[in-house]
Amino acid sequence: MERRSFLRNTAGTIAAFGLAGSVKTLASEAKDASESQFKLKYAPGFGTFKEHAGDDLFDQIKFISDQGFRAIFDNGLMKKEPAIQEKIAAELARRNMDLGPFVLYADFAVKSMVSQDPAIKDMLRKTMEEGVECAKRTGAKWALVVPGRFDESMEWDYQTANVIDNMKMCCEVVEKSGLVLVLEPLNAWTNHPGLFLTKIPQAHMICESVNHPSCKLVDDLYHQQITEGNLIPNIDKSWDSIAAFHIGDNPGRNEPTTGEINYKNVFKHIHSKGYDGVLCCEHGKSIKGKEGEMAFIKAYREVDSF
């Protein structure tokens, strides 16, 4: 073979191998990027990774996305300026990330939805209207509602009937927008004594009674571990009413693996049911600083490895 032909053929072979190697590398990187995303839509909140991402909300969204999280939650969304709400929504849409339920009404000091007080009803109606406007700006699908305190001077069943009636009214306000109201039961033993709504069966019963597509519940696994335990059976029995989950281990209300809840089994079960909604990481970190933020991510990698 002539030297010139040999060199030309050799160069072509090397180029071919180089191209194949590059394609293989890109394919591997794409595969790794895909595998780095979590199976479920765990949603850290703003401020979770401030040590790594700083104070800027959009740097925080980028960091959360880069770690493989596919959602965020923001309990304080309603208090942000409308322009900021819209920018957050645009950035999440650009990154194909979901927004978990925002807090629409949660006054722990007032006997509100257990009553038929006209002033309370007017307040609830106005609040729901404000929630609809927030949802329009942000594309939020769910808004969280806490019915407030129970009334020691009223029969429990009358209070339940009033909550059902008030939720029907609230659903009528939001129904055209497509916004879903999620009732949140909260524990009375550690964090919130005196509230009306404390258990998943209780919230499920209210959802069934309201009988409206805009009335669902959020299953806060931290609160329910304290109140009643029996997490997986309660998930199954109330499945048709569940629109979202909150996460936190007990005791301590920190990241999974720091307490008594077997989150790997719970998440495996939720995933097996085809759940594609948001699971808000509504908890603290067991370790401070950057080390704690990395421990947070490591914990979710562990419980997502089912």
CA atoms within 13 Å, Cβ hemisphere of 174: 35
Per-residue pLDDT at 19: 36
Residue 24 has pLDDT above 50, yes or no: no
The answer to whether 286 touches 292, Cβ cutoff 8 Å, is yes
Picking from 258, 269, 276, 261, the residue whose alpha carbon sits closest to that of residue 221 is 261
Give 301's pLDDT tier (boundaries 50, 70, 90). Answer: very high
- Assess whether the previous peptide bond of 251 is cis (omega < 30° from 0): yes
* Burial zone of 52 (CB within 10 Å; 0-12 exposed, 13-18 middle, 19+ buried): middle
Residue 39 has pLDDT above 80, yes or no: yes
3-state secondary structure 188-237: CCCCCCCECCCCHHHHHHHHHHHCCCCEEEEEEHHHHHHHCCCHHHHHHH
**161 three-state secondary structure:** helix
**71 three-state secondary structure:** strand
Residue 33 has pLDDT above 90, yes or no: no
Lowest mean pLDDT among 3-7, 194-198, 232-236, 292-296: 3-7
Region 36-61: what's the mean pLDDT? 98
Region 67-96: what's the mean pLDDT? 98
Structure-token pair, residue 193: 């004594």
Residue 44 is classified by DSSP as P
Percent of the chain with pLDDT over 90: 89
Residue 257 has pLDDT above 50, yes or no: yes
Per-residue pLDDT at 14: 36
Give 35's pLDDT tier (boundaries 50, 70, 90). Answer: low
Which phi and psi angles does 90 have, rounded to 5°? -65, -40
Picking from 97, 104, 34, the residue whose alpha carbon sits closest to that of residue 60 is 97
Per-residue pLDDT at 10: 42
Percent of the chain with pLDDT over 70: 89
Region 274-292: what's the mean pLDDT? 98
Residue 9 has pLDDT above 70, yes or no: no
Residue 224 has pLDDT above 70, yes or no: yes
Residues 181-202: pLDDT tens digits?
999 999 999 999 999 999 999 9
Picking from 53, 38, 48, the residue whose alpha carbon sits closest to that of residue 75 is 48
Q: What is the mean pLDDT of the chain?
A: 91
Tell me which H or E stretch contains 279.
Answer: strand 278-280
Per-residue pLDDT at 222: 99
Per-residue pLDDT at 5: 44
